[in-house]
Amino acid sequence: MTSPLRLSIDLQALAGNWRWFDARSGAAETGAAVKADGYGLGAAAVIARLAEEGCRDFYMTTYDEIAAAGPLPPGCTAYALHGFRQGDDPRMPVVPVLNSKEQIAHWRQAAPGRACDVMVDTGMNRLGIGWREFTADLLAGLNLRTLHSHLACSDEPDSPMNTEQRTRFAGIVDAVRPARAALSGSGGACLGRAYHFGAIRPGLGLYGGVPHPAAAGQLASVAAPAAEILQVRAVAAGESAGYNARWTATRPTRLATVNIGYADGYLRAFSSCGEMLVQGRRCRVAGRISMDLTIVDIGDADARPGDWATLVYSLADAARISGLSQYELLTGLGHRYQRRYL
Ligand SMILES: *Cc1c(COP(=O)(O)O)cnc(C)c1O
């Protein structure tokens, strides 16, 4: 069986992007965020390739997500960013990032002396112990490895939130002196040395997203969706296409119906602006994208059923033209793709 929908994943490009962060982060250790199944590209394959490059720290959300990714290569550590929840098995080879006093108490009792991390919230008000209530004695008796925090505005280099959060975090790190401290994902890693501390946790940039203006043009595209052409037809000027007849031919042309739709993450926001490469030519989406199908205006290209159309899906451009975030564009691709690792 072959699928009419493919996601090509360039593991060389992924590895190159990781090396870019590793070179920028200097002495700080470069990990990888591989949550949401490696941002939709397959956590197990991403982990295996990055471990070959020397990546040792892999950040996911929950224990069950980590179990689904399978055993890690030797010497690597899986971190559960959502911490240690009721029902999680403390014997699993996972370092939980504890987010509250309750989680700390639960871990102390369930896994005394075992390695853990702690998250401090320095202003995002999402996960972690609030910086105002954080005191060193909260950590008493814990085998703390890394103290974390997370930036709210790292993709906005001029936001005052960045320096505020950094200053708060640096104060706590000075007071607690953890073995390691980590503040930054991809965006923060681009804010400069002061944001690197002992480790960074990049995600988006590894997968070809542009997390910060400084990274524009520096990171290679990793994922390329492609779909099979199911049907080709000729239409006359004045004929319409697709649901609600929102597209009308202004000249005689040919339309290709392609096996991808919004259920595959190719959202309706691309109806008016999406492009695909058909026989090397950039072709516009014609009419509304449907659940499983998209119509493309291929002009006089000599494409036939069984040929493939590759989506123009550079994350930064796709985000700009669609108004969606690069994160949503990647993680929303869905499960119908046959992944092909290059
Ligand atoms: C998702 C996540 C990251 C990675 O962020 P990117 O912006 O994708 O680089 C880093 N740290 C934490 C806590 C996260 O939740």
Query: CA torsion, points 63, 65, 71, 73, in degrees to nearest 10?
Result: -100
Question: Is there an atom of ligand 1 within 6 Å of 219 CB?
Answer: no
pLDDT in tens, 22-31: 999 999 999 9
Q: What spacing in Å lies between the alpha carbon of 151 and ligand 1's midpoint?
A: 9
Separation between Cα atoms, residue 295 and residue 282, nearest integer Å:
14
Which CATH fold topology does 11-210 show?
TIM Barrel (3.20.20)
Domain layout of the chain by residue ranges: 11-210, 223-341
- Facing residues of 232 across strands? 256
Q: Whose CA is nearest to atom 6 of ligand 1?
A: 203
Q: What's the confidence (pLDDT) of residue 247?
A: 97
1 is in an annotated binding site: no
Q: What's the confidence (pLDDT) of residue 71?
A: 97
Q: What's the confidence (pLDDT) of residue 322?
A: 87
Q: Which of 2.40.37.10, 3.30.420.40, 3.40.50.1970, 3.30.70.20 is the CATH number of 223-341? A: 2.40.37.10
Picking from 262, 250, 253, 259, the residue whose alpha carbon sits closest to that of residue 289 is 262
Question: Is there an atom of ligand 1 within 6 Å of 81 CB?
Answer: yes
Query: In 3-state terms, the chain is what percent helix, strand and coil (to 5)?
Result: 30, 25, 40
Identity of the residue numbered 264: D
Task: Give the pLDDT means over successive 10-residue stretches in the chain (342 positions).
Answer: 94 98 97 97 98 98 98 98 97 98 97 97 98 95 97 96 98 97 98 98 97 93 97 98 97 98 95 94 97 97 97 91 92 93 94
Domains 11-210 and 223-341 share a fold: no
Cβ neighbours, 10 Å, residue 281: 13
Question: Is there an atom of ligand 1 within 6 Å of 186 CB?
Answer: yes
